[in-house]
Amino acid sequence: INELVAESGNEPPEEADRGGERAASNVEETADSGLRQAYTNTFTFTSSSPALDPSYFIRTPYKPFHPLTARRGYLQLFGNACAPGDRDSAALVLRKQTAYEETFEVLLGGFVPRDKLTEAGATVYYGDLLRNDIAVAGGRVEEGEEGSSRYVLTTVNCYELATKDAPVRFQIAGNSTSYTLGYAEGTASNFTSLATIDSAALSIAPAGGFFFKGTSFGIYKTGNGRPSLVSADFKYWKQTPKQPSFNTTSGDV
């Protein structure tokens, strides 16, 4: 009884018995105040020397590839020949998944690839190499045809877009069993899901060893082995955790 009174702030024992209710309430308040706080970056900076906040990370680049002032209100990526799957310096910006269930969303503004190797989009990394991408890429050019068409690319499957240069929103939704990749073109309000990846893949060790460091979301721009001269402009970055629910009903344990 003395311990109960001490832990409950000198309240009577019968009040301390309801500590489970207050504990759940306190945890819920903690979650609402930051534990499961949504993150949004609109890439609008007032500083004369803007920089990404420390929560982002990149693979050590040969030179800077992500100017924040080239187009106001956008994070611009200059592509290179390295693809996200290369061990070399890909034009890739990453940020850790911050909650067990979380949705990642970015907007790619008016990206028009010049050839079928040019690609820009969103990715989810489950480790150093294991990943899934969804992107806008140059389409397959038929014999005798000039120019390129626009496609959304997820792994090796292509889906033709309806417009030539409309903005495209990418979404990667992670839950307890899977990750779902989708997109919305132009003014479309609903996302079209293209692929769902079983989270069990995270437990499969690839050749060469595997150390799970946590899942990361990212954006990238690549020429897939060729120099890439078209930049990719991203309007915002959002990570929205699913808020936890708590059972505050007291009862026998």
Predicted confidence band of residue 247 (pLDDT cuts 50, 70, 90): low
Residues 6+ away with beta carbon under 8 Å from 177: 198, 199
pLDDT in tens, 27-61: 444 444 445 789 999 999 877 778 899 999 987 77
Alpha-carbon distance 157 to 222, whole Å? 17
Using DSSP's 3-state secondary structure scheme, residue 221 falls into strand
Domain boundaries, the chain: 2-35, 39-241
Tokens of 186: 């132009």
The continuous run of DSSP H or E covering 27 comes out as: helix 19-30
Using DSSP's 3-state secondary structure scheme, residue 8 falls into coil
Give the HSE-up count for residue 118: Cα atoms under 13 Å, Cβ half-sphere: 20
Q: Is the pLDDT of residue 239 over 80?
A: yes
**Domain 39-241 is found in CATH 3.40.50.720:** no
pLDDT in tens, 71-105: 889 999 998 898 888 878 889 999 999 998 999 99
| 101-124: average pLDDT | 94
Rg (CA), the chain: 23
What pLDDT is stored for residue 8 in this prediction?
33
pLDDT in tens, 184-215: 999 899 999 999 998 876 766 666 656 677 89
Using DSSP's 3-state secondary structure scheme, residue 238 falls into strand
Whether 74 contacts 235, CB under 8 Å = yes
Whether 160 contacts 149, CB under 8 Å = yes
pLDDT in tens, 126-162: 877 778 999 999 876 454 445 556 666 555 678 888 8
Give the HSE-up count for residue 100: Cα atoms under 13 Å, Cβ half-sphere: 5
Whether 131 contacts 84, CB under 8 Å = yes
Parallel/antiparallel/unpaired status of strands 216-222 and 119-125: antiparallel
pLDDT in tens, 218-236: 999 999 889 888 999 999 9
Whether 129 contacts 206, CB under 8 Å = yes
Tokens of 176: 């307890």
| 154-183: average pLDDT | 88
Identify the DSSP state of 34: I
